[in-house]
């Protein structure tokens, strides 16, 4: 949002300090909630991109999702604090501020230090992520109705790691708001294809198993230090997800416990029914692997590892230079916008399963610029300037053709 600048005060109480990152739909600012007296609290303010903000239908859906998200309270879910519109009509979502970095940056900090990603920490993070997802999947409303919230956009950048060792999943429901808004407009779905479960490509509805598949991809990539589903463009990635060829993790790393490899490959089963029964049982599986194979992994070593990752990425120095806060924080874990607005449309003939409901129409994909992989040579060259880093995931747009 170009009108936003450091120092700007939104809704009389949120002072923008500096942009912290940018995703497909919004810019996230590190900000300060100013209260009476000297009260101040760090917060994250998410500003919807102008083009999205201009769409009142999208905004009303965003508002609805923010309201639902605000009701989700769990130690592994980023708390939504506020949602509103400022005096010039721009929208904002206020969340708790996580001092640290996202999983994407944490993972890619390891090759810089010539280290493999420590599997006990990845497993411990997996436990916490699954606990957060479990709480959302089993959500019960105030009046006692079971009303699950499916994340739909589990990806490395939506998992935040605190310097104090906390693990929190963010952006619940936002993908749904985008999908639903799009359905009534140009019939566009937006998401991150590389983390998309194969059944979604063939038109099935997102559900708990599709979130678990995404966690499997995130963990596989973290341990393998490479992308799982790759391609030169979104179409190729889509075909790779659909093909479902997944290299065994133990062929790539010999130090992983067999039970961990098995658990991750269970989450990555192509058939949703063959994955874990639910997020909680997946969390329990990872937790028991930790108990059997290592010393307990708690917040202390994880926090230490987050602080070390910030050091390796050179983000602590930047943070100290620009922030009044004493704590280290990511300076600008920004992502490259892989917006596909001006790309050629290419049909993909994806067969729709008999059992599929809800989305009967064939799907076509907009062909994008070639993806810059997470761990490609090109990426490594860009590492000295964190601002130039490419995003961790592909944005994609599937266009549903009217039957």
Ligand X SMILES: Nc1ncnc2c1ncn2[C@@H]1O[C@H](COP(=O)(O)OP(=O)(O)OP(=O)(O)O)[C@@H](O)[C@H]1O
Q: Does 21 bind ligand X (CB under 6 A)?
A: yes
Near ligand X in 34-73, by CB under 6 A: 44
Q: Does 395 bind Mg ion (CB under 5 A)?
A: no
Contacts of 170 (CB under 8 A, 6+ apart): 77, 78, 95, 98, 158, 159, 160
Choose, by CB under 6 A, the member of 1, 10, 17, 26 that binds ligand X: 26
Report the nearest approach of ligand X to the CB of residue 142 (Å).
25
Helix then strand then coil, in percent of the chain rounded to 5, is 40, 20, 45
Contacts of 206 (CB under 8 A, 6+ apart): 150, 152, 176, 197, 200
The interface partner of residue 132, options being ligand X, Mg ion, none and the CB cut-off 5 to 8 Å by kind, is none
For the chain, give me the number of helices (H) and strands (E)? 14, 13
Of 90, 153, 179, 332, the catalytic one is: 153
User: What is the strand order of the sheet 188-192 is part of?
Assistant: 188-192, 395-400, 363-366, 345-347
- Whether 153 is a known active-site residue: answer yes
Stretch that binds ligand X, among 115-123, 212-220, 273-281, 328-336 (CB under 6 A): 328-336
Q: In this complex, which beta carbon is closest to Mg ion, that of residue 91 or of residue 119?
A: 91
**Nearest by Cα to 213 from 155, 140, 139, 148:** 155
- The interface mask with Mg ion, positions 155-174, x = CB under 5 A, is ---x------------x---
Q: Which residue's Cβ lies closest to ligand X?
A: 23
Near Mg ion in 166-225, by CB under 5 A: 171
Near ligand X in 100-119, by CB under 6 A: 102
DSSP string computed for 300-361? HHHHHHHHHHHHHTTHHHHHHHH-S-SS---S---------TT--EEE--PPPPTT--S--S
Choose, by CB under 6 A, the member of 16, 31, 80, 98 that binds ligand X: 98
Q: Give yes or no for a contact between 237 and 229, defined as CB atoms under 8 angstroms apart.
A: yes
Report the nearest approach of ligand X to the CB of residue 330 (Å).
6
Q: Which residues bind ligand X (CB under 6 A)?
A: 20-26, 28, 44, 78, 95, 97-98, 102, 153, 157-158, 160, 170-171, 330, 333, 335
Please give the positions annotated as active site: 153
Q: Which residues bind Mg ion (CB under 5 A)?
A: 23, 158, 171
């Amino acid at each position: 949002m170009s009108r936003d600048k450091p120092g700007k005060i939104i809704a009389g109480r949120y002072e923008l300090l500096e942009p912290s990152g940018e995703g497909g739909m919004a810019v996230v600012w590190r900000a300060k909630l100013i209260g009476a007296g000297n009260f101040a609290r760090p917060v994250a303010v998410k500003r919807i991109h102008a083009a999205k903000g201009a769409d009142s239908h999208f905004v009303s859906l965003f508002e609805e999702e923010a309201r639902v998200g605000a009701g989700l309270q769990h130690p592994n879910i980023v708390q939504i604090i506020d949602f509103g519109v400022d005096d010039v009509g721009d929208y904002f979502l206020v969340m708790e501020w996580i001092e640290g970095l996202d999983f994407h940056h944490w993972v890619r900090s390891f090759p810089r230090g010539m280290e493999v990603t420590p599997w006990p920490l990845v497993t411990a993070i997996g436990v916490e992520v699954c606990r957060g997802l479990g709480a959302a999947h089993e959500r019960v409303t105030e009046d006692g109705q079971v009303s699950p919230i499916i994340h739909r956009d589990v990806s490395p950048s939506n998992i935040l790691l605190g310097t104090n060792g906390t693990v929190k999943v963010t952006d619940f429901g936002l993908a749904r708001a985008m999908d639903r808004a799009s359905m009534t407009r140009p019939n566009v779905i937006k998401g991150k294809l590389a983390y998309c479960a194969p059944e979604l490509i063939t038109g099935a509805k997102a559900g708990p198993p599709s979130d678990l598949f995404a966690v499997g991809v995130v963990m596989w990539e973290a341990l393998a230090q490479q992308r799982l589903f790759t391609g030169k463009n979104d179409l190729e990635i889509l075909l790779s997800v659909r093909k479902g060829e997944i290299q065994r993790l133990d062929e790539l790393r010999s130090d992983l416990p067999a039970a961990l490899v098995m658990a991750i490959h269970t989450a990555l089963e192509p058939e949703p029914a063959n994955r874990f029964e639910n997020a909680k049982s997946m969390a329990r599986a990872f937790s028991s692997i930790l108990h059997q194979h290592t010393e307990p992994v708690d917040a202390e070593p994880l926090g230490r590892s987050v602080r070390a990752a910030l050091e390796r990425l050179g983000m602590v120095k930047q943070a100290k230079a620009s922030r009044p806060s004493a704590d280290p924080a990511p300076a600008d874990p920004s992502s490259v916008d892989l917006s596909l607005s001006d790309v050629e449309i290419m049909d993909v003939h994806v067969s729709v399963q008999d059992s599929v409901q809800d989305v009967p129409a064939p799907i076509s994909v907009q062909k994008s610029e070639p993806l810059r992989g997470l761990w490609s040579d090109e990426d490594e060259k860009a590492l000295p300037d964190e601002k130039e880093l490419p995003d961790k995931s592909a944005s994609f747009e599937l266009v549903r053709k009217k039957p």
